[in-house]
Structure 1
């Protein structure tokens, strides 16, 4: 099932891809970045761009019926790997406790000029119990 969130821009060419998808108890988000009609949210600041990318990911995760604690895998794409500390700071404002698995990839460019960060996530809906204990523990 395709999933959208009101506060996350839809893909520019509607129908080319989905922002998020749920299959059974699993969810996936497309790569989220800070792109906007007037340029990147946060300007050229990697931390502020990362905050916006993570905000969009979290909104989509919630629209899937999950929480940030249900995210099991993150992939982060950076145009400058030296920005990893700034992106890590933004990430730590969203995720705590048992952290998702993660991959960080340095890339030459993202879809729009000026973008520095893109984040995609996947997970299992209700992966954590109400007490915050990981499912299966």
Structure 2
């Protein structure tokens, strides 16, 4: 059985995707930015954007019946890799004890030029 979780991103309907999808015991969370009510939160602040994106991810996981402790992988896309420590510190505050497999890579741009980071997450419910 498939469960689509919608968020508040203005791009979901335009692009045709869900914030998260649960199939069986797996939950896949789409690339998530610090966007609330159509506005970028934490403009210029990579740490805050990471924290907000992770809060949105947490909400999607919970709606799908999962928890942060179920996350087995995250992918972080950053527009400036020299700011990796800000992103990493926020990620570590959330996942420090959980320690999912993680990737952080620099990308040329994200959908809004004010976005500094976008994060995906995968969870497996046991």
Normalising by the residue count of structure 2, what TM-score does the alignment of the two structures yield? Answer: 0.89
- Aligned-pair distance for 1:112? 0.6
- Closer/same/farther in 2, CA of residues 47 and 20 from structure 1, 3 Å limit: same
Q: Which structure's residues are more often strand, by fraction?
A: 2
More deviation, 35-44/111-120:
35-44
> Unmatched 5+ residue regions in structure 1?
127-137
> Unmatched 5+ residue regions in structure 2?
none
Counterpart of 1:53? 53
Native 8 Å contact 1:47 1:87 kept in 2: yes
Give the Cα separation in 1 of the matches to 2:12 and 2:106.
Answer: 26
- Aligned-pair distance for 1:85? 0.6
> 1:84-118 deviations in whole A, cap 9, x for unaligned?
11011111221132400011111010001111000
Normalising by the residue count of structure 1, what TM-score does the alignment of the two structures yield? Answer: 0.82
The reply to whether residue 74 of structure 1 matches residue 74 of structure 2 is yes
Native 8 Å contact 2:9 2:37 kept in 1: no
Counterpart of 1:132? none
Q: Which has the larger radius of gyration?
A: 1
